[in-house]
Amino acid sequence: MKKLNAEPDFVARRSAQQWTPAQREAKRAEMIARNADPAFRAKQLASIPTRRPRRITAADHTHPLVRGLFREMADQQASRKRVARSAGVSAFALSGWRSAHMPMLDTIDAALGVLGFELAIVPIGTRDQYGFPQKKTRTTEGVQS
């Protein structure tokens, strides 16, 4: 573009195509009318490609609490950056929990708190594979887990 702007012919052609104030006002009114039409807006929005958010998963060897954190992040469509910023840790630290590093107790509690969860002490064997307590179901003979 710098090369074109240095050419006098290009600059002369470009400046010869300038609009008059009346033309600008007419184009402005046309665009306002178009954007006010709901069908035009729907067509515009439909043409914008949408991408589904990528599911963030943790490795099988990761601690169940960390797997549960990343599962909830995926379910709530919460980004690593938003959770990390709100929890007071770096996004790189949060990403490291997925594969190599174990978070400190206070940092995972803060990250879970961002998503509306808290750490709790539960009996052994009552957590599912994601670290959440299994829901109890009612049977005719009583409560069964």
For residues 53, 54, 58, 59, the Cα torsion angle rounded to the nearest 10 degrees is 170
Indicate the burial class of 111 (C-beta count within 10 angstroms; 0-12, 13-18, 19 or more). Answer: buried
Decide if 115 is inside a domain: yes
What confidence score (pLDDT) does residue 86 get?
Answer: 93
Averaged pLDDT for residues 112-125: 85
Does one domain contain both 69 and 119? yes
The tally of domains found in the chain comes to 2
**Domain presence at residue 138:** yes
Where in the sequence is the domain holding 29, given as residue range(s)?
A: 2-46
- The confidence score (pLDDT) of residue 54 equals 66
**pLDDT mean over 39-63:** 78
> Looking at the domain assignment, is residue 37 inside a domain?
yes
Average pLDDT over residues 75-99: 89
CATH number of the domain at 106, please.
Answer: 1.10.260.40
For residues 32 and 103, membership in a common domain is answered with no
- pTM reported for the whole predicted model: 0.53
pLDDT tier, 113 (very low <50, low <70, confident <90, very high otherwise):
very high
Tell whether 68 and 128 lie within a shared domain. Answer: yes
